[in-house]
Chains A and B, each alone.
Chain A
Amino acid sequence: MAFDTVVVIGGGPGGLRAARGIAELGSPVVLLEQDERLGGTPIRENYAGLTPHATPAEPLMNEMAEAVTSNPNADVRLGTRPTALSGEPGAFTLTVAGPDGESQVECGAIVVATGFQHFDPGRETQMYGYYEFDDVIALQDLEAMLKVHEVVRPSNGEPPKQICFVQCVGSRDRHIGNEYCSKVCCGVASKEAIEVRQMLPDCKVFIFYIDMRMYGYWENEIYWTAQEKHHVQYVKGVITEVLPKGDGLIVRGEDTTMGRPMELPMDMVVLSVGMEPSAGTRDAARVLGIRPNRFGFVDAVKAPLDPVATSKEGIYACGAALGPADLEDTVSSAANAAMHAVGVVRGQSRAGAGGRQPGGPGVPGPGAGRRPARGARGDRRGGRAQVAADAGDRR
């Protein structure tokens, strides 16, 4: 038996893009979202504008959600999460828990789009007094302020006159086990710095960094713009601590360019917190039986050229479920995962290692691998016919 439905777990940018792609290709898709609203982290954390162009996040996410919810091939289930999986590629049975209790979804493939969570600067790691001082906040906290167009010090409600960003909080840090770069924080901090300068022209804005990692076009779009147009001050140096001073804060660290210690008074400190696997990503790995990497993200077992394959055939992952990713990477990998998933349900998948037994339509037989076996070629032809039929149905 084989099922033609694809389940997408997670209703953020990656999940929405994957679900939209699957639905538009004519395959039934069930989108599971644990929250009561689609949009994922940008909505839940009240992002103001998306990096790099600071385009307002909420309308964009609503647009993405609408593209899914308006498609008759899509079945969106809010407040729902997976709890168990059985079966095999092409014929999975996924148990889900939702508002109406547990139910089962029969599906041929699964896309994991469960994303990330912001690093908690923490009660345990106690970085930079995030929990001690009102005026130490994180990137997403500032996003929420930018969204309502009012940046103020949480301690007194006054606009800050001097504010700084501290980069690499919770990233590139062996002590806490997060040895990876979170990729987006340099860009997000620079984007937010520009927005603060636009909103509060009298506020001085500093960014303390190890090295700025402005990938691709972000270099021109954000980094140089921040400096040359908006006079954001980038200081190469590691901040060691944030301490109270009067009713403000002191940041202390080393200016590594000048080779000397520094102390600067600040009204607000913004911690550029990195990415960690979300609880949903950890749960998905456990429930689906797919291998996490040592950081808890889903292991991309065939990277770099097949970056969405997981350790279990028929299950694909995308976006920040696989590791730190910006939005462009997220939606690109989501489309990639959607393509693979549709391929599986239509019998086009080239089976990876795993030696499954021959099954019904869409399930490759023995010997399936890098070179398709005869049976698999037959399946692929069937798959193409199915695509055409589906396309005809849609018309």
Chain B
Amino acid sequence: MTIPIEALRQKKSTPYEHQPDRYPDFQDELAELERAGEIVVQKIDGDYLEVPTKFGRPKRIQKGHLWHHKSCGQCGHIPGYSTSIFWVMRKLGYDYDDPKDQTSCTAWNYYASATSNAAAQAAVAVRNFAAAYETGYFPLIHCGTSYGHYKEVRNELLHHPELRADVRKVMDKLGKPLVLPEEIVHYSEWFYAMRHEIAAKQVVDMSNVAVTVHPACHYYKLVEGDAIYDPDVYGGQRTAVVTGLAQTLGAEVREYSTWFDCCGFGFRHILVQRDFTRSFATLRKIERMKEEADPDVVLTHDTGCVTTLDKSQFAAQAHDRNVGVAVLSEAQFAALAMGAHPYKVCQLHWHSANYKPMLEKMGIDHEKAWAEFQSDLKRLENGEKRYLEWDDMD
């Protein structure tokens, strides 16, 4: 008998095949609790696209009529991130609700072991879901941490009647139902699902742009089963969001070895060991990417990842390390591809690492764009307008 290497290779080369009902499906539990009258399930009620998930169950992504659950960090540190999401959605002609009564999910402190308890966490999540449900718009979560956390909360609520009872008491006091949406959807899943519609409106050629992708831990390492994995992207072995969009827009996605690593944010670390965060982000992530892939831009899909990878580079630059690469969310990248203004929409001036070489590779005249932006600021300064509006963006 020969060494069975060939048989092993043959076994491993068998094509991806989804086995229906192979893994537990939370949809069954949602439906059961709904039938029992314990919870309200907000259903997808508009046009939707189906995308493949890690454990095979098709996930339905509603295209429009979406309730935007925004991200604290995006709004506070990188406002062009959320603006790009809204801008793309408007350009594609999908309506949405930008609510005023959404709260923070409080998960950052939760994951940093700094605050809260299970009932409080779940009640915050359900209150936000109820707020969406009351508008009739389907929730879309901007923040990777909120997204991962809400999926954990869903898991806890489905399996612990005592937790449901605690949360129900809170919701009764608020006069709101105990609602869970049929799917918990991250904005990057929407961008992935809509990538062909986005590409159809593309006006900037991205074929000259090399990107590396940092997948956000809280997107695919928490409750991993219903994150998007596509056999056509990395052979279904890594999450397909971000990469699938970048490829569809014609960019060259380059590989690097530390893709699995955290960006350095680490929740606890950014709060109490910030030097560790800065070192990790630059030495383990950015330098590896530069050495192994030399990208024009790093694309990622979460608040903490964009800020950490972007805003850590200054410290390493001061020590002449091999850093210095633009960091964007894929929403900003898609917006740029569709012709969004780099300052008025994508607000790249909030970013720290030098993004101008990237814009030049895209053929975008950043000096002209900056002049346009300054001109708009003058209008604000002289009182002509109080703030820029969507009509000012084009």
Contacts and interface: CB of A to CB of B under 8 A. Distances in A.
A66 interface: no
A147 interface: yes
B134 to A, nearest CB: 32
Contact of B18 (A124, A130, A243): A124
A141 B3 CA distance: 10
A124 B54 CA distance: 6
A362 to B, nearest CB: 38
A176 interface: yes
A123 interface: yes
Interface in A85-136: 123-126, 129-132, 134
A163 to B, nearest CB: 15
Interface stretch (B4-12, B204-212, B377-385): B4-12
Contact of A132 (B16, B54, B237): B237
Interface in A350-384: none
A105 B2 CA distance: 40
A134 B9 contact: yes
A196 interface: no
A93 B17 CA distance: 35
Nearest to B258: A243
A141 B4 contact: yes
A260 interface: no
Contacts of A175: 223-225
B289 to A, nearest CB: 15
Contacts of A123: 16-17, 231, 235-237
Given A154-B9, A175-B225, A126 B237 contact: yes
B1 interface: yes
A125 B5 contact: no
B387 interface: no
Interface string B7-25: 1110010001111001110
Nearest to A174: B24
Interface residues of A, number: 27
A245 B257 contact: yes
B55 interface: yes
A243 B260 CA distance: 8
A287 to B, nearest CB: 18
A190 interface: no
B304 interface: no
B3 A129 contact: no
B148 interface: no
Interface in B1-52: 1-5, 7-9, 12, 16-19, 22-24
Nearest to B11: A141
B4 A124 contact: no
Nearest to A130: B12
Contacts of A125: 54-55
A206 B99 CA distance: 54
Chain B interface mostly helix, strand, loop or mixed?
Answer: loop
A324 B236 CA distance: 29
A154 B8 contact: yes
A129 B237 contact: yes
Interface string A153-177: 0100100000000000000000111
B12 A46 contact: no
B264 interface: no
A147 B3 CA distance: 9
Contacts of A150: 3
Contacts of B22: 124
A152 B8 CA distance: 12
Chain A interface mostly helix, strand, loop or mixed?
Answer: loop
Which of A124, A130, A241, A245 counts the most chain B CB atoms within 10 A?
A: A124
A131 B56 CA distance: 17
A126 B4 CA distance: 22
Contact of A157 (B4, B5, B237): B5
A141 B8 contact: yes
Contacts of A46: 4
A269 B5 CA distance: 15
B8 A241 contact: no
A135 to B, nearest CB: 10
Contact of A147 (B1, B24, B223, B231): B1
A145 B9 CA distance: 13
A152 B5 contact: yes
A145 B3 contact: yes
Which of A130, A152, A177, A241 counts the most chain B CB atoms within 10 A?
A: A177
A177 B24 contact: yes
A271 interface: no
A131 B9 contact: no
Contact of B257 (A126, A131, A132, A243): A243
B233 to A, nearest CB: 13
A164 B258 CA distance: 21
Contacts of B16: 123-124
B139 to A, nearest CB: 23
A207 to B, nearest CB: 21
A18 interface: no
B231 to A, nearest CB: 8
B103 to A, nearest CB: 28
A196 to B, nearest CB: 14
Contacts of B257: 243-245
Interface in A20-45: none
A241 B258 CA distance: 11
A133 to B, nearest CB: 9
Contacts of A157: 3, 5
A150 B1 CA distance: 10
Given A175-B223, A175-B225, 19 more contacts: A46-B4, A123-B17, A124-B22, A124-B55, A126-B54, A126-B236, A126-B237, A126-B238, A131-B12, A131-B235, A132-B237, A134-B9, A144-B4, A144-B7, A147-B1, A148-B2, A176-B23, A176-B24, A241-B260
Interface of A: 46, 123-126, 129-132, 134, 137, 141, 144-145, 147-148, 150, 152, 154, 157, 175-177, 241, 243-245
Shortest beta-carbon contacts, A-B, top 10? A144-B4, A177-B24, A123-B16, A154-B5, A148-B1, A150-B3, A126-B237, A131-B12, A141-B8, A132-B237
19 contacts: A123-B231, A123-B235, A124-B16, A124-B229, A124-B236, A125-B55, A126-B54, A126-B237, A129-B237, A131-B237, A145-B3, A148-B1, A148-B2, A154-B9, A175-B224, A241-B260, A243-B257, A243-B258, A243-B260
Interface of B: 1-5, 7-9, 12, 16-19, 22-24, 54-56, 223-225, 229, 231, 235-238, 257-258, 260
